[in-house]
Amino acid sequence: MMNSSTDFKHWIVDEPHQFKVNRAIYTDEAVFNLEMEHIFEKSWTYVAHESQIKSHGDYVSTRIGRQPVFVIRLGDGSIAAHLNSCSHRGATLMPHESGNAKAIRCRFHGWTFSPNGQCLVVKNEDSGAYPDESFKKHQALTSVARLETYRGFVFASLSGNVPPLKDWLKGSKDWIDCLVDQSPEGLEIVKGASTYTLYGNWKLQAENGVDGYHVSTVHRVFATTIANREGKNPLKDLKQTEAGRITGQVPSGSYDFGNGHMGIWTERSKPQVHPLWIQKERLEKEFSAEKVEWMLYRTRNLFLFPNAFLMDNPSTQIRTMQPISANVCEVTVRCIAPVGESLQARAARLRKFEDFYLTTGMATSDDLAALEAVHEGSRAANSPWNTFARGVKAIQHSGEGELNMSQEPPEVSTANWDHEVIYHGFYRAWKALIQKGQAA
Amino acid sequence: MSSIAEVLAQAQELLYLEAHHLDQKQWTEWVEMYTQDAIFWMPSWINETETTSHPETELNLLYLNGRSHLEDRVYRLQTEDSFASVPSARTVHLVSNIRLIEAHDEHTVLKATWIVHSYGLHGPLTRAGFYDYTLKRVDGALRIAYKKVTLIDDKLIGAVDIFHV
């Protein structure tokens, strides 16, 4: 049990020559409650993309940690997020996953709120015999403490005690830019989504999205399937799928950006089959050679601590995690794509997406099974330690030897995406936020 | 020209045979039921009531355009190298409410509903949905030219492969 004076040495061993975590942190509900209270409900989390809420009243329902929230576009074009809970008796106000509501009417007792959270109507207010006349004025919805966007990505925090979003994101912003700059008009979430229920801990999903080491085993079958497809029936241009990163034939690397944000990259074995290839000329005109290299010739998996991934490998996706308990996590997969790209590029992007990224596809399905196997194996409490040792002797600091795009170098990088040292940064951020919360 | 009753009986037999091949994991026999240019489509949900309807611009759970893409799925299953597929779930397909929508000499359009009960790593699971089929006669034999699966479930549990729906 972790309590208010948590002794982390039972959970993380962080010494110069070893870094390990106790697998009980994946299965212990007390740990989960600390994570929800001190990480998810006190720090920045990703909540929506602006393309989902384009017009006045457009909203999406989500959660921050355990708390239901909706994110809504106001009449002046700004964005707000409120707890999805009526100030009167707590009923959720938005019954849908997404929709439009310029006036938000509670279906329980009919109280009505404006998108900025103000209470407009208390049903039968006149006969309510309320203690004072200003009663309604004090019935506004509870809003998130902070809401900021970075290039279309909306983040919110239930605590005001957080750094500005730009500072929080650190060097991960460069990788976000590499995705956003794929169109002069930015990105959009493509219609349609899939949610899967992981019977496993959210941290296993967090690790998995930036785990280069599993790719050559778990996704070997994806590579052989693609090789079989293309050997049997040669495909042209964008219809091909690159699999060089799976068979391990390309340079790669890993990044610990700080604050728990992590990234892995590989060189593309066939950059000309990526939907972005069509825009090569524009990119070379508009961006530095280093940035074009990152955008066009490298795949990138980015984890934004604690709940979102941005991936750009055969296709492009945003994947979000909604932890339900220590043992269950809901994961939603969406395709995010450059606004205004050609129909040919969009269709190619979607087909590659469906091949790989879904539990109905030929790779995420295998990841899901692997993570559930890890979660089950983590119950073997007599053998409790996960040792993250790969890459310890290859650690580089401050982005030395890296293809730099900006002034915000990573805390740690290595020249191999198989390395596991970026998890050290993840778990240090995890521990630091729980400790900060407990000290407050 | 066959009677409506004969067309329906043949179509029904074909749907039951497909279910049989899937439940018996007779992948090669299953894939041979499809025409070379067959489309196997499972849209995704946009919200609680609408699925995607434009495969070229919207995200699908599956959009296998051409039998060769169905063969990819069979190839992957047959490698026994897929983490999600070993051990494989046992399934039973129940296909029902078969309605003949159009009957022509060369093709037949049908609607049906389905329930697939599976037993595997997650224990017993039941998924359900709708089928839309177009069957075509190719060299005298009835084949599947189009199959759209509308899976009503979301928050999917476990991998959902071509034989779970």
Residue A355 belongs to domain with CATH number: 3.90.380.10
B-interface mutation test, from A220, A224, A354, A376, most B Cβ less than 10 A away? A354
Q: Please state, in angstroms and rounded to a whole number, the distance separating the CA atoms of residues A12 and A23.
A: 10
pLDDT of A1 reads: 47
Q: Give the pLDDT score at B90.
A: 98
Same-domain pairing of A372 and A290: yes
Rounded distance between C-alpha atoms, residue B110 and residue A344, angstroms = 31
* Tens digit of each residue's pLDDT (9 = 90 or more) over B79-135: 999 999 999 999 999 999 999 999 998 899 999 999 999 999 999 999 999 999 999
Predicted local distance difference test score (pLDDT) of residue A405:
80
Question: CA nearest B52 in A: which residue?
Answer: A192
Residue A315: domain span: 170-439
Same-domain check for residues A197 and A86: no
Task: Tell me, yes or no, if B123 comes closer than 8 A to chain A by beta carbon.
Answer: no
Is residue A369, in this structure, part of any structural domain at all?
yes
pLDDT of residue A193: 97
Probe site for chain A from B56, B83, B85 (most A CB atoms < 10 A): B83
Task: Tell whether A32 is covered by a domain.
Answer: no
Question: Percentage of residues in chain B with pLDDT exceeding 70?
Answer: 99
- At CA B73, angle to CA B70 and CA B78, rounded to 5? 125
Local confidence band at B1 (pLDDT 50, 70, 90 cut-offs): low
Q: Which residues of chain A have a pLDDT value below 50?
A: 1-2
Which of A104, A120, A150 marks a domain boundary? A150
The minimum CA-CA distance between A375 and chain B, rounded to whole Å, is 13
CA angle A412, A418, A420 (to 5 degrees): 50
Q: Which residues of A touch B (CB under 8 A)?
A: 96-99, 190-197, 199, 218, 220-222, 224-225, 228-229, 232-233, 330, 334-335, 343, 346-347, 350-351, 353-354, 358-360, 362, 365-370, 372-373
In a domain, A162, yes or no: no
Residues A222 and A362 in one domain: yes
- Integer Cα distance of B139 and A303 in angstroms: 53
Instruction: Check if the beta carbon of residue A401 is closer than 8 Å to that of residue A412.
Output: no
Tell if the CB–CB gap between B57 and A346 is shorter than 8 Å.
yes
Answer yes or no: do A214 and A358 share one domain: yes
- Residue A23 belongs to some domain of the structure: no
> A88 in a domain, yes or no?
yes
Q: Which residues of A touch B84 (CB under 8 A)?
A: 365-366, 368-369
Q: Which of A146-160, A238-252, B10-24, B138-152 has the lowest mean pLDDT?
A: A238-252
Distance from CA of B102 to the nearest CA of A (A): 29
* Residue A178 domain flag: yes
Q: Are residues A188 and A61 in the same domain?
A: no
Selected for mutation to probe chain B from A60, A360, A366, A374 (highest B CB count within 10 Å) is A360
Q: Which residues pair with B91 in a beta bridge?
A: B118
Residues A73 and A210 in one domain: no
Find the closest chain A residue to B80 by CA distance: A221
The full set of domains in chain B, from first to last, is 4-151 (3.10.450.50)
Same domain, A194 and A243: yes
Same domain flag for A119 and A210: no
Closest chain A residue to the Cα of B55, Cα to Cα: A347
How many domains, chain A? Answer: 2
Here the ipTM equals 0.96
Instruction: Please identify, among A116, A150, A184, the residue that sits at the C-terminal boundary of a domain.
Output: A150
Q: Do B56 and A346 lie within an 8 Å CB cutoff?
A: yes
CB within 8 Å: A229 and B72: yes
Residue A156 resides in a domain: no
Same domain? For A142 and A260 the reply is no
Q: Do A194 and B154 touch (CB under 8 A)?
A: yes
- The pLDDT value recorded for residue A38 is 97
- Residue A137's CATH number: 2.102.10.10
Q: Based on the domain organization, do A64 and A125 belong to the same domain?
A: yes
Predicted structure pTM score = 0.96
The answer to whether residue A337 is domain-embedded is yes
Cα of A265 vs its chain's centroid, Å: 16
Gap from B150 CA to chain A (nearest CA, Å): 13
Determine the distance in angstroms separating the CA of A370 from the nearest CA of chain B, rounded to an integer.
Answer: 6
- Kindly state whether residues A140 and A203 are assigned to the same domain: no
